[in-house]
Structure 1
Amino acid sequence: MKTTPPLDPKAPLVADTRTMSRAPGTTKEWSADIDVTDKLGLDMIAIPAGSQLSVRARLTSVSEGILVTGTVSAPVEGECARCLTAMEDAIEVEVSELYAFEDSTTAETTEADEVMRVQGDLLDLEPLVRDGLVFAMPTTPLCRPDCRGLCAQCGERLDDLPADHGHEIIDPRWAALKKFV
């Protein structure tokens, strides 16, 4: 059986539930604004290092554990997949995860990687936050939905070119005849 290292109660994404009753229905508001130390995301779009992500959550005691629901938001930077222009945006995602009590039926009947676990009185919210943000990032980020991209011939942004922009394409087999015209 794989053992997990103990959680640091002072870590920014660790929620302490000691002040909560385990009686179903007990709730606690939890929030944090965390400085991102390492880039988080994909190649074309990511939460840059040095930015701040915001977590607003409600911890609710249920019969099998602690249900965490809330929102996570952060700024993202990247480049448009069509025109390669640098872009900045913000992402906000709703998250929901059950953290099973150590002695619950859920904890006893599921594999360790199938459900999150309450560790003592602590909840490790990092996987929930990280996965929520990364899975919500677009795999094809766009500077705007109607971005036209780049011209296939000259590589310039189509939005910066006149409406009648075009290139005369001559079949290379007939190119030698052009000098007679």
Structure 2
Amino acid sequence: MQSHRTSARSPFVFDLRELGRQPGAMREHRRSVPVGAKLGLDLIAVPEGASLDLDLRLESVSEGVLVTGTVSAPLTGQCGRCLDPIRDELTVEMCELFAYANSTTDETSEQDEVHRVDGDLLDVEPMVRDAIVLALPWTPLCRPDCPGLCPDCGQRLEDLPADHTHQRLDPRWAALAAFTQPEDGAEQ
């Protein structure tokens, strides 16, 4: 059970006593919650110490509490093409059922299939973390048309002239190139 982990002092935890268990009862909550540790991937993440803006609606239903709403977070990272720094904002919509103990949903689902209400406390942190990490882009870009880096010299293509090229020799013909090069001391 998760009762030993849920702390009423966590800003991610909501006390459900004021909501009640009458289906249809609803409460809206808006709060800013600090991120304890970096949340994301190597190229893009919500930085440690940033604030997550939660705009949630908790609605009592027969099987538990339905949590819907959005979470907004600042992002920092690097462009996946040119490696320039990125600063952006991410907003993710969420919808998740938290089952009451001994409800049909609680009894018919595995422990990791559904979130659960812990007594009168509801901890949205796992749901928020999952929603943010799953919404992060696989390849963050500084802009959609970023040309990236030159694969030969590593310079930003945007900073190079339009006619920038490198002479490439097909590796299958590389051995033949030695025949066209004069040997030291040989006549031409």
Q: How does 1:29-178 map to 2 (within 5 A)?
A: 29-170=28-169, 172=174, 173-174=176-177, 177=180
Q: How much does 1:21 deviate?
A: 2.4
The alignment's C-alpha RMSD in Å is: 2.0
Q: How much does 1:176 deviate?
A: 7.2
Q: How much does 1:83 deviate?
A: 1.1
Give the percent of matched residue pairs that are identical in Structure 1 and Structure 2: 53
Structure 2 gap ranges (5+): 183-188
Asked whether the equivalents of residues 15 and 30 of structure 1 are also in contact (C-alpha less than 8 Å), the reply is: no
What is the rounded CA distance, in whole Å, between the counterparts of 1:77 and 1:18 in structure 2?
38
Q: Which aligned segments of 4 or more residues in structure 1 are displaced greater than 4 angstroms? A: 175-179
Query: What code does the residue aligned with 1:174 have?
Result: A
Q: Specify whether residues 175 and 169 from structure 1 end up closer, same or farther in structure 2 by C-alpha distance, changes over 3 A only.
A: farther
Larger radius of gyration: 2
What is the rounded CA distance, in whole Å, between the counterparts of 1:112 and 1:147 in structure 2?
44
Structure 1 gap ranges (5+): none
- Structure 1 counterpart SS, 2:77: strand
Per-residue displacement from partner, 1:134-164 (whole Å, max 9, x unpaired)? 0000111111111111101111011111211
Q: Specify whether residues 29 and 167 from structure 1 end up closer, same or farther in structure 2 by C-alpha distance, changes over 3 A only.
A: same
Asked whether the equivalents of residues 2 and 118 of structure 2 are also in contact (C-alpha less than 8 Å), the reply is: no
- Structure 1 counterpart SS, 2:130: helix
Q: Specify whether residues 85 and 122 from structure 1 end up closer, same or farther in structure 2 by C-alpha distance, changes over 3 A only.
A: same
What is the rounded CA distance, in whole Å, between the counterparts of 1:86 and 1:176 in structure 2?
47
- Structure 1 counterpart SS, 2:111: coil
Asked whether the equivalents of residues 99 and 116 of structure 2 are also in contact (C-alpha less than 8 Å), the reply is: yes
- Structure 2 counterpart SS, 1:9: coil
What is the rounded CA distance, in whole Å, between the counterparts of 1:77 and 1:120 in structure 2?
37
Match of 2:185 in 1: none
Asked whether the equivalents of residues 81 and 140 of structure 1 are also in contact (C-alpha less than 8 Å), the reply is: yes
What is the rounded CA distance, in whole Å, between the counterparts of 1:78 and 1:176 in structure 2?
49
What is the rounded CA distance, in whole Å, between the counterparts of 2:32 and 2:117 in structure 1?
22
TM value normalised by structure 1: 0.91
